Amino acid sequence: MKVLIPTKLNKVAANLLAGQGLPVVQDAETDLETLVAANPDTVIMIVRSEKITSAIIDALPSLKLIVRAGAGYDNIDCQYARKKGIDVMNTPGANANGVAEEVVAMILACYRHIVPADTTTRAGLWEKKKYMGREITKKTIGIVGLGNIGRLLAKRLQGFEPVLIGYDHFLAKQRAINIGVTPVELDTLFERSDIISLHVPGGPATQKMVSFDLLRKMKDGAMLINCSRYGVVDEEALAQVVAEGKKIIYATDVHPKDAAGEKPSSAVADLVLPHLGANTEEANRNAAKRAAEQVIAYFERGDTSCVVNAQGPVGLDPLQLQLAKMLATLGRLVGGNGAIRRVDCTLGGSLRQFRKWFTPRILEGVLPEAEKNLNWAAAEDSLREHGVIYRAKEPLVGNVEEDSIVVEVVSERDGSTLTSTVRGIVAENAPIVSTINGFKGLYFDLTGNLLFVRYTDRPGVLAHVTKVLADAEINIENISAPIDHSISETLAVIKTNKPVSGAEVSAVMTLVKAIDAFAVTF
C-alpha cells in the first residue's frame, strides 16, 4: 500500500510507516499534480495545506485514506472523498501549543517593537528612544475562546503574573476559574483588557464578532491579537475606530487565503504574519507522528475513530443524524441560548444501537462554536471540556419501539437554570419536531426557514405576526400553533420562504409582547 506525502512534513511519519513495511514517497518540491500523476497507485495520502480536489482524488483510483496532519481539513473535498469511498482523518490538538506560544511571541514583538527595531538598527540607525516598550507583567489579558488553545495560552502566560479574564459562552464558569481565568462578559473583557487574544472558530456565528461597538470599548493603547480565523475582526470597523483617534495595536496571523499576494489586514495591522501558529518543528512532528499512528491503527485494527467524513452505519438513516442536530439546536434556542450545562439524548426503537453516532450531532447543535465533524470520542471530549454533562439514555416509558429522539437541554442564563425538552421523528423522508416542552402535536417539518414565537394565548396574535412578515415581503409556507393549556401559552412555528431577520424578530416581539421569539434556518 503506497503512501504519498506531498508536503514538507517531519520525517517521523515516513519512518514509522516504512517501519511497517509500507512504501513511502515523500516529496515537497514537485507540484502536486505532477506527483499524483507519477504515483497513480497511491493508497494513502498524508497532507498539510495542499488542496485535495475531486480531480486529485479521481487521479488516484486506489486511494483509500487521506490524513490531514493538522486540525482543519477544509482543503480536502471530504464530500467527494466520501462518494468515492475514501475516508478522511485529521489530527486535532497537535498544533495547539504552537499557536499559544505564537501569541506570546506576538505580544512581546509588539510591546518591544522587535521587528522595526531590528530593521532600523541593521540600517545603521540608533532609535532606542523611539522604541520605548511596555511589559506584559501584571497586565490584564483577555482570552476570547477557552478551548484547547485558549486554555494553553492561559497556562503559558502564568509566569508574567497577569490578571487573566476570559469569555467563552459555552464553558462552565468553574472550569474557567480552575485554569486561573476569571469569566466575564464579552463587553467587560474588551473594556478591561490591556491585551486581547482571539481563539474562536470561523463561520457565520463569529463573522465580524469583534465589531465597531466592541472596538470602541477597548482601552486606548490596548492590543488585539487574531490567531483564530480571518473575518472574526471587522477590520473596516477597526480602521474607523483608529481614524477616530483611538490607538489599538493589532496583530494578526490569519488571512482570506494562505498564499502569496496582497493581505487586506496590512492596512490596519501593526504586525502581520503568514499563519505561523502551527509552523513549529514540534507541532509538525506531533502532527506527523499522530498521522502515521492513525494510518497504522486504521489498517491494522480497523480503527476509524478519527475519520471525519464517516457515513452512518448500515441501518441508520442519515436523516436521523440531521434530526438530532436540529433538535439539539432547538433545545438550546428554546432555553434562551444560555450556557449549556447538561444534555440528555433519549433514543427509541432501532436508534438505540447507534448511540455513539449521535454524539457529534448533539455537540454541533448545543455548542455551535465547537469543532465540527468530530468523531464520537472527540465529541464526548469536547462536551466534557466545555463543562457539559452528556448522557445517552434509554426510554423509560412510552413506545420504546418507535425510532424517536428526545433531547433535553439544561442551560444557565442570567443566573437562572432553564430546561427545555424537544422530541422528534423522521417521517415521510423529513425531519419532524413533534413536541417542544408542553407544546404537543406540532409535527412540523424542520427543513427551511423557521420563526418561533411564544406568547400568552389570546386571539389576534397570529394576525399581527403575519403582518410583520408580509410588510417585509416574507411569504408564509406553513404554520402550527399548539397551546399548552396548563400555562395558557401558545407556541407558533412558522415556515417562511426566506430567513427572518433579527430586526423582524424584534418587531414581532414588541408588537405581540411575546415571551420569546427566535428565527433559525436549517
State how far the Cα of 146 lies from the Cα of 199, in Å rounded to an integer.
Answer: 7
State how far the Cα of 387 lies from the Cα of 170, in Å rounded to an integer.
Answer: 8
User: Is the predicted pLDDT of residue 429 greater than 60, yes or no?
Assistant: yes
The average confidence (pLDDT) of the chain is 92
Q: Give me the mean pLDDT over the 310-315 stretch.
A: 76
- pLDDT tens-digit profile of 239-275? 999 999 999 999 999 999 888 999 999 999 999 999 9
Q: Give me the mean pLDDT over the 174-182 stretch.
A: 88
Higher pLDDT, 148 or 128: 128
User: Is the predicted pLDDT of residue 336 greater than 70, yes or no?
Assistant: yes
The grid cell for 188 is 467587560
DSSP 8-state class, residue 384: H
- Predicted confidence at residue 197, as pLDDT, reads 98
- Predicted confidence at residue 171, as pLDDT, reads 75
User: Is the predicted pLDDT of residue 489 greater than 80, yes or no?
Assistant: yes
- The band of 214, judged by pLDDT with boundaries at 50, 70 and 90, is very high
Look up the CATH architecture of domain 2-93+281-301.
3-Layer(aba) Sandwich (3.40)
- Predicted confidence at residue 398, as pLDDT, reads 57
State how far the Cα of 383 lies from the Cα of 170, in Å rounded to an integer.
Answer: 9
- Predicted confidence at residue 67, as pLDDT, reads 97
Q: What percent of the chain has pLDDT over 70?
A: 98
CA 461 distance to own-chain centroid: 37
State how far the Cα of 83 lies from the Cα of 311, in Å rounded to an integer.
Answer: 10
Q: Give me the mean pLDDT over the 40-69 stretch.
A: 96
Q: Give the SS3 label for residue 367.
A: coil
The half-sphere exposure of 224 on its side-chain side, counting CA atoms within 13 A, is 27
- Are the C-beta atoms of 492 and 481 separated by less than 8 Å? yes
User: Is the predicted pLDDT of residue 189 greater than 90, yes or no?
Assistant: yes
- Predicted confidence at residue 97, as pLDDT, reads 93
- Predicted confidence at residue 222, as pLDDT, reads 98
State how far the Cα of 405 lies from the Cα of 355, in Å rounded to an integer.
Answer: 11
Please tell me the pTM assigned to this model: 0.74
The order of strands in the sheet holding 140-144 is 182-183, 163-167, 140-144, 195-198, 222-226, 248-252, 271-272
Each domain of the chain, given as residue ranges in start order, spans: 2-93+281-301, 96-272, 318-521
Domains 2-93+281-301 and 96-272 share a fold: yes
- Are the C-beta atoms of 456 and 483 separated by less than 8 Å? no
User: Is the predicted pLDDT of residue 400 greater than 60, yes or no?
Assistant: no
User: Is the predicted pLDDT of residue 442 greater than 90, yes or no?
Assistant: yes
State how far the Cα of 49 lies from the Cα of 52, in Å rounded to an integer.
Answer: 9
User: Is the predicted pLDDT of residue 140 greater than 90, yes or no?
Assistant: yes
- The band of 445, judged by pLDDT with boundaries at 50, 70 and 90, is very high
- pLDDT tens-digit profile of 365-390? 999 877 776 778 888 888 988 889 99
- Predicted confidence at residue 115, as pLDDT, reads 97
Q: Give me the mean pLDDT over the 448-454 stretch.
A: 96
Please choose, from the candidates 414, 423, 290, the residue with its C-alpha nearest in 3D space to the C-alpha of residue 346.
423
- Are the C-beta atoms of 512 and 451 separated by less than 8 Å? no
- The band of 74, judged by pLDDT with boundaries at 50, 70 and 90, is confident
Superfamily of domain 96-272: NAD(P)-binding Rossmann-like Domain (3.40.50.720)
Q: Among the ranges 176-180, 200-204, 432-436, which has the highest mean pLDDT value?
A: 432-436
For 303, phi and psi rounded to 5 degrees? -80, 110
User: Is the predicted pLDDT of residue 71 greater than 80, yes or no?
Assistant: no
User: Is the predicted pLDDT of residue 401 greater than 60, yes or no?
Assistant: no
User: Is the predicted pLDDT of residue 32 greater than 70, yes or no?
Assistant: yes
Superfamily of domain 318-521: D-3-phosphoglycerate dehydrogenase; domain 3 (3.30.1330.90)
DSSP 8-state class, residue 375: -
